[in-house]
């Protein structure tokens, strides 16, 4: 099972009209393509993941389970996600969470069905 990075850009996450921080979708897609990260972790820009109060939300899915991150706002935090994906290459399991992301982790829904979010291969 490939690692997944699911970045929410739904009704609240990244909605600047509601006063929320932007989600740097272009930056992520550009870096993913330039560094060929799709092999290490598939990037999905998703609709609402059901935890709007934690915006902006990113879900990391690995063999070991799910890691929910909320309140992303700084570019350095999105860069840390890139590093996490990159460092997960050729490893047994996922890389450790960079320190800058540890403080953003929250207890998210481990049972959330990803079928609607990732219809091609949940
Ligand atoms: S819009 Fe991101 S969790 Fe709802």
What separation in Å is there between the alpha carbon of 77 and the centre of ligand 1?
A: 18
Any residues with CB less than 8 A from the CB of 79 and at least 6 apart, and which?
Answer: none
Q: Residue 9 C-alpha to ligand 1 middle, in angstroms?
A: 7
Query: What lines the ligand 1 site, CB under 6 Å?
Result: 8, 10-13, 48-52, 55, 57
pLDDT at 122 over 60: no
pLDDT at 115: 77
Span 31-81, pLDDT tens digits? 999 999 998 899 999 999 999 999 999 999 988 889 999 999 999 999 999
Q: Give me the pLDDT at residue 113, please.
A: 83
Query: What pLDDT is attached to residue 118?
Result: 74
| Cα–Cα distance, 2 to 100 (Å, whole number) | 23
pLDDT band at 1 (very low <50, low <70, confident <90, very high): low
What's the CATH fold of domain 3-106? Glutaredoxin (3.40.30)
Q: What is the pLDDT of residue 95?
A: 72
Q: What is the dihedral of CA 12, 15, 21, 24, to 10 degrees?
A: 110
Q: 7 CA distance to ligand 1 centroid (A)?
A: 9
Ligand 1 pocket: which of 7, 10, 21, 23 to mutate (most atoms <8 Å of CB)? 10
Helix 75-87 to helix 25-34 angle (10° resolution) is 30
The reported pTM is 0.92
Q: Which of 7, 13, 66, 71 to mutate to test the pocket of ligand 1 (most atoms within 8 A of CB)?
A: 13
CA dist., res. 1 & res. 63, Å (int)? 7
pLDDT at 91 (0 to 100): 66
Q: What is the pLDDT of residues 93-119, one digit of tens each?
A: 667 899 999 999 999 888 888 877 776
All structural domains of the chain with their residue ranges: 3-106
More confident residue, 96 or 8: 8
């Amino acid at each position: 099972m490939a690692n997944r990075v699911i970045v929410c850009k739904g009704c609240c996450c990244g909605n600047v009209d509601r006063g929320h921080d932007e989600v740097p979708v272009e930056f992520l897609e550009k870096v993913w393509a330039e560094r060929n990260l799709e092999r290490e972790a598939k990037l999905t820009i998703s609709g609402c993941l059901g935890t709007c109060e934690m915006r902006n939300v990113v879900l990391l899915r690995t063999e070991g389970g799910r890691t929910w991150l909320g309140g992303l706002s700084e570019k350095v935090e999105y860069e840390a996600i890139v590093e996490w994906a990159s460092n997960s290459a050729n490893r047994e399991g996922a890389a450790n969470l960079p320190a800058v992301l540890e403080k953003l982790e929250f207890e998210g829904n481990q049972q959330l069905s990803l079928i609607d979010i990732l219809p091609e291969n949940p």
